[in-house]
Amino acid sequence: MNKLVALCFLLGAFAVANGENRIVGGSEASEGEFPFMVSIRQGLGHVCGGSILDEYTILTAAHCVFGRPAYELNIIAGSLEWANGGQEHKVWHYVIHQAYHPITLQNDVCIMKLETPIVFDHNIQPAVLASSPTPANQNLILPGWGFTSYPGTVSDVLLFFHLRSMSYDDCKALEMDREIVKDMHLCAYAGHGQGACHGDSGGPLVDTYGQQVGIVSWAMRTCARGFPDIYTDVSTYYQWIQSHRH
């Protein structure tokens, strides 16, 4: 992935404020199906997805907040519509991984702390994080509010789609010698016509047991064009996350 493509996903997080932000090829989520999912907003615009770790802590991608003042950010929890309903909480501060690189998106992980506690209920629950690597060819699920196509059409409800993990070697083979996929990444693939897109960044990739295994980071090609999406591997950063959430 070159700098332009890396920045495309980064800038995509900024572009969703106008509402063009949904997953490509997804289905509508049901109430309470992804209770750990949150929308990260700046003002009235959706910026990225994130996941709840505890009543004061949100996990997301570093590129979602890089360069944004914490006091301008808030989160919405417990609603299928990022613009309506749910609990709203202002962000107090955030911690980006110390080795995060804003061009290559290496170490693309961030912990956000909230000013007020989230109140848990049926529709709002913390995520369970994976502490061991995800094997290849595992069934996974991605919820999000990203583009439904590129360019996209507006849909205000949370969508999701199914995909499968790829081996590191198979994912590297598709890079065409660009040397950007590292062992800190998790690659997943759904086929042509389905995939993460702008606005899905920072959201949780989960396995069929609901355990979060990845964080949406970037895409090898434009959304849903038959190439893998690249996720920050949660198990790689498990200790870092635990040490920065308190």
Active-site annotation, residues:
63, 108, 201
Cα Rg of the chain, angstroms: 16
Burial call 142-180: b when 16+ CB within 10 Å, e when fewer: bbbbbbbebebeebeebbbbebebbebeebbebeeeeeb
Backbone angles phi, psi at 10, to 5 degrees: -65, -50
Q: Is the peptide bond before 151 cis (omega within 30 degrees of 0)?
A: yes
Instruction: Let me know: does 160 contact 34? Beta carbons within 8 Å.
Output: yes
Instruction: Let me know: does 189 contact 166? Beta carbons within 8 Å.
Output: yes
Nearest of 230, 200, 203 to residue 23 by alpha carbon: 200
Q: Which amino acid is at 219?
A: A
